[in-house]
Amino acid sequence: MMDSNILARILRHLHASGGLVLFLDYDGTLVPIARIPTEAQPDDALLALLADLARAPAFDTILLSGRPLASLQAMLPVPGLTLAGTYGVEIQRDGKVMTRGVDAFQIRPIVEQVKSEWGRLTDGRDGFLLEDKGLAIALHARWAEPAEAGLVLETARAAAMLLLPAQDFRILGGDRFLEAAPSAAHKGQTVDWLLDQIHDSGALPVYFGDDDKDEEAFAVIRRRGGIPIGVGARFPLESALERLPSPEAVRGWLRRFLEDAQ
């Protein structure tokens, strides 16, 4: 894929001394999908690659993930790297941490209610994992028997809809996955907001992502004149202008960006 027309377009931009705003998803994009989230740890090569990108003047590198900010901070202690956790609700940028679009003191008690209800539904059942993200709560059913997973997730969704104020929360789905998150937990909204902060009309936004939450950002990236690049085959990602097969292929493109920028 290194001879892609999309790759050539990005490299031409770099050769013309244009910068890139790089938006990088983590799970499934920079590292393979793991059995459980805690197993998807960055290797030394990835940390070195991100450090090189963060140091290079040609790039504004943003890690945008559904993981909570605290998890990203622990895994990716890379100076100069912007970390946007919980789909961009929690952001660490230029040494400062902020919460975007939510009041944590109002959100957390509601998350606790959903956590309690989903815990009751999954208590004693095999194959389910409840992931408390602080400002969101996720229910993984990847390891459960398919029929039981479908029934529990459907019941969990209905329970959450009764508990969540519609104006403040959204329910996210996925591959045997359910999540209750603030309405601002939206990668498309986050991309729009971050690009408005950057104010660099000459920078080309390039987004790498692998799932339906990234698809929400792809439309924004295209509207803002950028390039969305899908990764893997788990989701259709119909708005992507290019598709890479794996996280290793993503890393290959990022290394090529570095080489050409130098």
Q: Is the pLDDT of residue 140 over 70?
A: yes
Q: Other CB atoms closer than 10 Å to residue 194's CB: what's the count?
A: 21
What is 5-101+185-261's CATH number? 3.40.50.1000
Q: Is the pLDDT of residue 1 over 60?
A: no
CB 143 within 8 A of CB 175: no
What is 104-182's CATH number? 3.30.70.1020
Q: What average pLDDT does range 114-120 have in this prediction? A: 97
> Percent of the chain at pLDDT above 70?
99
Q: Is the pLDDT of residue 29 over 90?
A: yes
Q: Is the pLDDT of residue 243 over 80?
A: yes
Domain ranges of the chain: 5-101+185-261, 104-182
pTM of the model: 0.93
Q: Name which residue leads in pLDDT, 2 or 16.
A: 16
User: 14-23, pLDDT tens digit by residue?
Assistant: 999 889 999 9
Tell me the C-alpha to C-alpha distance, in Å, between residue 234 and each of 173, 199, 222, 243.
Answer: 13, 34, 21, 12
User: 184-236, pLDDT tens digit by residue?
Assistant: 999 999 999 999 999 887 899 999 999 999 999 999 999 999 999 999 999 99
Q: What average pLDDT does range 165-177 have in this prediction? A: 90
CB 1 within 8 A of CB 10: no
pLDDT band at 3 (very low <50, low <70, confident <90, very high): low
